[in-house]
Amino acid sequence: MTAAAALPVRVYYEDTDAGGIVYHAAYLKYAERGRTEFLRALGVDQSKLRAETGIGFVVAGLTIDYLQPAFLDDLLTVQSIVARVRRVSLDFLQIVERGGVPIARLTVRVACIDAAGKPARLPDAMRAATMASPPS
């Protein structure tokens, strides 16, 4: 595994069902925020990258294991770890924790695409940054 980052996330009412339990799809939002902030910490500005190069990112694959429920007002941490860097994609391991205890585990493949939606090579600077030490 390579670079990693952590993002705190508070569970809001909008994230829960009528019983105050986090709705399953909310974990996808938490993971997206974790990946976005991870890349931002590495100096990757996705808007600028797209405007200057036409390169963007899409989720190409995802699995999620729900280990324990989360509840309204919980403070969670999304750990985002680059598990593998490929020519046109990054594999992330993302762990959602409450108080250091894993409550959900996601594996996410993010593919790099060009403006036409075709696979594109990861920029060299991004490849190097994701293989370096964790962002500060």
Catalytic residues: 17
End-to-end, the C-alpha distance of the chain in Å comes to 17
Bridge partner list, 97: 77, 102
Quote the strand ranges of the chain, DSSP E: 4-10, 56-66, 75-85, 89-98, 101-113
The DSSP 8-state label assigned to residue 13 in this structure reads G
For the beta sheet containing 75-85, the strands, ordered from the edge strand earlier in sequence to the opposite edge, are 4-10, 75-85, 89-98, 101-113, 56-66
- Type of residue found at 126: M
